[in-house]
Structure 1
């Protein structure tokens, strides 16, 4: 697996994270100093670093666990994975989801919002079960609580996560699936780290139409390249470095 394209997709797709996770991470810098989370100014900014890092470590850890589960499921069905038709279908689906993600980031097509809504139904049931855990991590005034909240937030329904999770499924093993999702999570990290320290101003800037359009075009390009390759229109070689998964 070439993890660089997965990292880039996470980096470009983090404009979506600005909406999904931005409210939490920007709170690190916007709440008054006397509240549970310090403002990002002077010494208070230094104290906010452990909370920002703890939250993101928990979030990326949950992504890696989800990737390990997805990759392990495929790995345990190794014989099925060797069936050319199954593998080709999965490759097509993964790249179509990637193209859909690009359109979603551009606000050109909102199909993935329906996927998130479907996942939201399941999340509501999980949320009732997780209420005792949520009470344990709120208020988020220690790095350990931030880690716990991030770990919970990593399971919130997200079309972008689902898109990359298909790549983890095609990785063929739990360690590779975890690596795929960890690379994706690390791609989203720069945006959320900056937002956690700079706050709502950066969040607003990342939601601008031009920024979302540019990032969406980049992700859409990955998907279209993969579709063209799946259709047999592009030979192997340099294109391998730009495809999120390699057809066997």
Structure 2
């Protein structure tokens, strides 16, 4: 797991939290009403406890998603580029969802059926006057249907291992905490700033570009590396061919000399030695010059 992927999950939760506030606002209000009779200090502790339960629920879902990714997808994700390509496609998909594409609405409807089935269990945790009840409420809260949560779970699926999926989902949950624990005035300010600056759309665009980069950049680098390797191979072949030519020339010369030695007959050898002896017996050029000088002086 890279730091970039962890930061992406955290920012996804933070910039998508206005959507979470719209989905979870009623539930947060119900929690607040059920704690109206407790002291302010205990109230803060109960709020921290049910948010901890929600993050643990997200982490558990991420663990299951990562386990699915390592078991179901394992046969097609070994020894190839499929994990990287799949991660890039998921980032593009989640980015488009944050830009407003209604890809996960049907999945939200399916999740709503499960949430309604938990209604009898949810009623038992009210009022939130004890820490076990607050923790249970937070654990159940993690199953509230949300397209943004499902998008984060897709990232956890391609996170290569269950622990990575759990950490990614925990980081995603941390990103949603500031919006959900803020006061009414702070919530309004945060929502206005995120809406005015289009921070959610910007984050979605960044995630899309990151996904495309994850897919395209390594492929381009591999293509460039392959071209350099091919050029290096051609140079090596040329060098090998040149060496082979030199070797062949040396072998041919050695073969020709051996041929000459082989074709020389025994009768030719003495004659050749005799010729060499006659050549050695011939006066040298220096002696001939001395004799010529002496003759000229005598004649004079």
TM bucket, shorter chain: 0.7 to 0.9
> Please, what TM-score do these two structures have when normalized by structure 1?
0.74
Cα deviation per residue 1:155-179 (whole Å; 9 max; x = unaligned)? Answer: 1111111111111111121111111
Q: Which has the higher contact order (CA 8 A, sep 6+)?
A: 1
- Match of 1:221? 206
* TM alignment of 1:178-197, pairs within 5 A: 178-194=166-182
Question: Could you tell me which residue of structure 2 aligns to residue 14 of structure 1?
Answer: 17
- With normalisation by structure 2, the TM-score equals 0.63
Q: How does 1:155-170 map to 2 (within 5 A)?
A: 155-170=143-158
> Tell me, what secondary structure is at the counterpart of 1:156?
coil
More helix by share: 2
5+ residue gaps, structure 2, are: 222-300
TM-aligned CA deviation for residue 85 of structure 1: 6.2
Give me the whole-angstrom Cα distance separating, in 1, the residues matched to 2:46 and 2:29: 11
Indicate if the aligned counterparts of 2:88 and 2:213 stay in contact, CA closer than 8 A. Answer: no
Can you give the 5+ residue segments of structure 1 that lack an aligned partner in the other structure?
A: 237-248
Distance 1:11 1:131, change over 3 A: closer
**Hey, what's the Cα distance between the residues in 2 that align with 1:210 and 1:175?**
34
Q: How does 1:223-242 map to 2 (within 5 A)?
A: 223-232=208-217
Q: May I ask how many residue pairs the two structures share in their alignment?
A: 216
Q: For 2:109 and 2:191, locate their aligned partners in 1 and report how far apart those are by CA, in whole Å.
A: 21
Higher alpha-carbon Rg: 2
Worse overlay, 153-162 or 1-10: 1-10
1:49-88 Cα deviation digits (max 9, x unpaired): 1221111111111100011001112223433322636435
Output the aligned Cα RMSD: 2.8
**Deviation by residue 1:110-142 (Cα, 9 ceiling, x = unmatched):** 444344224324x25xx32x3442232122222
Indicate the residue corresponding to 1:58 in structure 2: 53
Matches within 5 A, 1:1-248: 1=1, 2=3, 3-27=6-30, 31=33, 36-38=34-36, 44-77=39-72, 78-82=74-78, 84=80, 86-88=82-84, 90-104=86-100, 109-121=101-113, 123=114, 127-128=116-117, 130-194=118-182, 198-199=183-184, 201-208=185-192, 210-211=195-196, 213-232=198-217
Q: How big is the shift at 1:190?
A: 2.1
C-alpha distance in 1 between matches for 2:199 and 2:119:
38
